[in-house]
């Protein structure tokens, strides 16, 4: 979900501010160029890592959209049976439907979020006098919202393409989807259906994930410092969690946060699909959509449909993202 991606990126930014370029003697072979292009290289590294991670879990994302919106071809199926059914009906490339729009979205999303995070962090510190974990949480949430608003139309198009089933195509591609939505669904505002539940879902996701991670870290280091912690590489007097424990705590925090905010994600997806769903006129607002889903499908098969898939996709996605980003950092000389 967009909220999840935003909060995860905010957490990464909060945990690892980029190091300043080391001063070098004049004529050392382009130190100024390296310093000037640091943000570009960092942006490219993050964008490539994000694209690789999203492509890895694209089949799970496609099935998630189909299950969340109760596509009539697959609404009777579960996660794994849907993963088998999609290739049988649409071929293996059917699992990657809508992934092209996601790849186009991931680059500007990362760039906007990163720049907005730095701007908001400085603004909150200088204007409001807030510092520490609070100002990073606030800046991360605000940066995520900014990035979501700026790139939301691409997410809308991706969901529409992912919901289509072979032989029943409303849109022939990304450009055609943009033109059709603009012409038939209220112009520019048509691209922002479902934005409100996205924004509302991000606040609890970010808050709960940061709170849970901080609590787990504090409890772990206070009760089992030798087993779970190690001295920080830049300050031996400070204990930090070991890498695998860090990832575990982050995964638990993300799972809890996703569980709380997931109904907003389901609501957003259904609103994004708009006229692609037969019950379109009954789901014009966020509350109407939530009421409809709950009334017709209940909690487990409605507001939380596809949640188990969301848990499954987090592990490979994070693993690929971290691994690719480390390789790209070496490739672009970011270390």
Query: pLDDT, tens digit, for every residue of 31-41?
Result: 554 556 777 88
pLDDT given for residue 132 in this prediction: 64
Task: Identify the band that residue 322 occupies on the pLDDT scale cut at 50, 70 and 90.
Answer: low
Q: Give pLDDT, residue 3.
A: 47
Mean local confidence (pLDDT), 240-244: 79
Would you state the torsion angle of the CA atoms of residues 146, 10, 13, 207, taken in this order, to the nearest 10 degrees?
130
pLDDT beyond 60 at 19: no
Among the listed ranges 212-216, 257-261, 315-319, which one has the minimum average pLDDT value?
315-319
Q: Is residue 318 part of a domain?
A: yes
Q: Is the pLDDT of residue 16 over 50?
A: no
pLDDT in the model for residue 318: 67
- Is there a domain that residue 34 lies in? no
pLDDT (tens digit per residue) in 109-159: 877 876 777 788 888 888 887 766 677 678 778 887 888 888 899 888 888
Highest-confidence segment of 86-100, 135-149, 302-316: 86-100
DSSP character string of 259-301: HHHHHHHHHHHHHHHGGGSTTGGG-SSHHHHHHHHHHHHTIII
pLDDT at 28: 43
- Side-chain-side CA neighbours of 13 within 13 Å: the count stands at 31
C-alpha distances (whole Å) from 236 to each of 229, 239, 244 are 12, 7, 19
Higher-pLDDT residue of 74, 330: 74
pLDDT at 171 over 80: yes
Q: Quick one: pLDDT band at residue 335, thresholds 50, 70, 90?
A: low
How far is CA 280 from each of CA 19, 134, 274, 283, 285, rounded to the nearest angstrom? 49, 40, 6, 5, 10
Query: What's the pLDDT at 179?
Result: 93
Q: Tally Cβ neighbours within 10 Å of residue 43.
A: 18
Report whether 246 contacts 322 (CB < 8 A): no
- Which residues span the domain enclosing 190? 49-330
Is residue 15 in a domain?
no
- Domains in the chain: how many in total? 1
Say if 36 falls within a structural domain. Answer: no
Contacting residues for 171 by C-beta, under 8 A, at least 6 apart:
160, 161, 164, 177, 180
What is the average pLDDT across 186-197? Answer: 87
Confidence band, pLDDT 50/70/90 cuts, at residue 315:
low
Q: What is the dihedral of CA 322, 327, 330, 331, to 10 degrees?
A: -130
User: Residue 192 maps to which CATH number?
Assistant: 1.50.40.10
Q: Is the pLDDT of residue 44 over 80?
A: yes
Candidate from 16-20, 71-75, 183-187 with smallest mean pLDDT: 16-20
Domain membership of residue 143 (yes or no) is: yes
């Amino acid at each position: 979900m967009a909220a999840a991606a935003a909060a995860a990126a905010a957490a990464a930014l909060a945990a690892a501010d980029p190091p300043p370029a080391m001063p070098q003697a004049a004529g050392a072979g382009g130190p100024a160029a390296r310093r000037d292009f640091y943000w570009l290289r960092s942006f490219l590294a993050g964008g490539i890592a994000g694209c690789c991670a999203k492509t890895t879990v694209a089949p799970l994302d496609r099935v998630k959209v189909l299950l969340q919106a109760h596509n009539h071809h697959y609404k009777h199926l579960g996660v794994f049976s849907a993963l088998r059914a999609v290739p049988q009906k649409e071929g293996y490339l059917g699992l990657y439907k809508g992934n092209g729009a996601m790849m186009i979205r991931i680059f500007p999303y990362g760039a906007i979020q990163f720049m907005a995070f730095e701007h908001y962090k400085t603004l909150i510190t200088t204007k409001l006098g807030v510092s520490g974990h609070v100002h990073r949480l606030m800046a991360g949430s605000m940066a995520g919202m900014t990035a979501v608003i700026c790139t939301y139309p691409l997410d809308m198009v991706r969901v529409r393409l992912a919901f289509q089933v072979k032989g029943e195509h409303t849109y022939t591609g990304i450009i055609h989807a943009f033109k059709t939505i603009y012409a038939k669904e209220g112009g520019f505002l048509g691209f922002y259906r479902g934005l409100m539940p996205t924004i509302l879902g991000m606040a609890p996701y970010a808050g709960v994930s940061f709170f849970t991670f901080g609590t787990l870290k504090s409890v772990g280091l206070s009760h089992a410092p030798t087993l779970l912690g190690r001295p920080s590489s830049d300050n031996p007097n400070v204990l930090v969690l070991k890498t695998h424990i860090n990832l575990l705590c982050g995964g638990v925090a993300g799972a809890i946060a996703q569980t709380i905010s997931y109904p907003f994600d389901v609501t957003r997806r259904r609103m994004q699909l708009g006229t692609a769903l037969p019950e379109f006129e009954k789901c014009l607002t966020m509350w109407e959509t939530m009421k409809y889903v709950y009334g017709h499908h209940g909690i487990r098969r409605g507001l939380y449909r596809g949640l188990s898939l969301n848990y499954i996709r987090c592990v490979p996605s994070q693993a690929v993202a971290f691994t690719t980003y480390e390789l790209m950092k070496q490739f672009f000389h970011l270390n």
